[in-house]
Amino acid sequence: MAILETKALAKRFGGIVAASDVTLTVEKGARHALIGPNGAGKTTVINLLTGVLKPTAGRIFLEGRDITALDPHQRVRLGMARTFQINQLFLDLTPLESIGLAVSERLGAGADWWRLIGSKAAVTEEIADIVERFRLGDVMYERTGILPYGKQRLLEIALAFACRPRVLLLDEPAAGVPEAERHELLATIAALPADVTVLLIEHDMDLVFSFADRISVLVNGTLFVEGTPADVARDPRVKAIYLGEELDA
């Protein structure tokens, strides 16, 4: 059953075609990776899926429901969350507060103006749970702006996770993470619950091939090849794109 689908999704900026005829199907529970050379339009696709950009053409379906016209925050409410390639965090808030915001919004308590923060047990319990899961316990009282990059990256994923999405879009989660902090990050991603569908954009091929059960290749804004990791790895056209030469010529 497809949990996330696009039909002929396209985005033009004036004369530039950032994405065209992107028809993607992500199965429920899948670990689906979207790869492609730089500038292929991967982040554009994520921005279209989440509503940050409005498509020039095409439709998007989440669990069978047409969400093409919805605002970003409405899509999150329906169960689709994302992380950003370049950290988008609340630098002046602590991880505790940031996660708390995501949780209380989800529980419908985000607009409460008369209630003091921290007074709802359901929220604080869930914050504690997420802090433990994402190994942020030792930095949860610090200002986000001063955290080491690896921890910030973990917080980035934690925030998306706090929305309890059914579909999680990860935009290059390992980007810029120092070698020493990578292991923690990769372990956390691998430990995501099986019922959460993950669409992953990544350049790190080790991560892609160890994590994904299905891969789509995006080149110049269009979907080029799609299949299991083994198929994609073998496909000569994919090799040509990445290595720039035909293998048998």
Partner 1 sequence: MTQLAGDVASYLKCRARWSPLEIVFWIFAFASIWLFPQKHLILTETAILALFALSLDLIMGYAGIISLGQAAFFGLAGYFSGLVAKYGLINDPVLALICSGLVAAALGFVTSFLVLRGSDLTRLMVTLGVALMLGEIANRYSSLTGGADGLQGVTIAPIFGRFQFDIYGHTGYVYCLTVLFVCFLIARRIVYSPFGLSLRAVKGNALRSAAIAIPVNGRLVTIYTVSAFFAGIAGALLTQTTAFCSLDVLSLDRSADLLLVLIIGGTGYLYGGLIGAVIYKFMQDWIASLTPQYWQFWIGFMLVLIVLVGRERMAGWNEAVRAFLAQLLSRATARKPALGAATPDRH
Q: What is the smallest separation between the CB atom of 104 and partner 1, expressed in angstroms?
A: 5
CA dihedral 183, 188, 190, 195 (to 10 degrees): -170
User: CA nearest 185: which of 215, 206, 167?
Assistant: 206
Give the list of residues 6+ apart from residue 91 with CB closer than 8 angstroms, or none: 143, 144, 145
Judged by beta carbon, residue 24 or residue 159, the one nearer partner 1 is: 159
Q: What is the smallest separation between the CB atom of 217 and partner 1, expressed in angstroms?
A: 26
Q: What is the smallest separation between the CB atom of 165 and partner 1, expressed in angstroms?
A: 10
User: CA nearest 152: which of 220, 215, 83?
Assistant: 83
How far is it, in rounded angstroms, from Cα 147 to Cα 139?
7
Judged by beta carbon, residue 145 or residue 236, the one nearer partner 1 is: 145
Q: What is the smallest separation between the CB atom of 142 and partner 1, expressed in angstroms?
A: 11
209, 229 in Cβ contact below 8 A? yes
Judged by beta carbon, residue 100 or residue 173, the one nearer partner 1 is: 100
Judged by beta carbon, residue 7 or residue 133, the one nearer partner 1 is: 133
Give the list of residues 6+ apart from residue 231 with CB closer than 8 angstroms, or none: none
Site residues (CB under 8 A) for partner 1?
A: 50, 52, 71-73, 76-77, 81-82, 84, 88-93, 96-98, 100-102, 104-106, 109-119, 121, 124-125, 127-129, 131-132, 137, 140-141, 159-160, 162-163
Judged by beta carbon, residue 137 or residue 148, the one nearer partner 1 is: 137
Count other Cβ atoms within 10 Å, centred on residue 40. 22
Q: What is the smallest separation between the CB atom of 213 and partner 1, expressed in angstroms?
A: 26
Judged by beta carbon, residue 86 or residue 230, the one nearer partner 1 is: 86
Q: What is the smallest separation between the CB atom of 131 and partner 1, expressed in angstroms?
A: 7
Q: What is the smallest separation between the CB atom of 76 and partner 1, expressed in angstroms?
A: 4
Judged by beta carbon, residue 110 or residue 193, the one nearer partner 1 is: 110
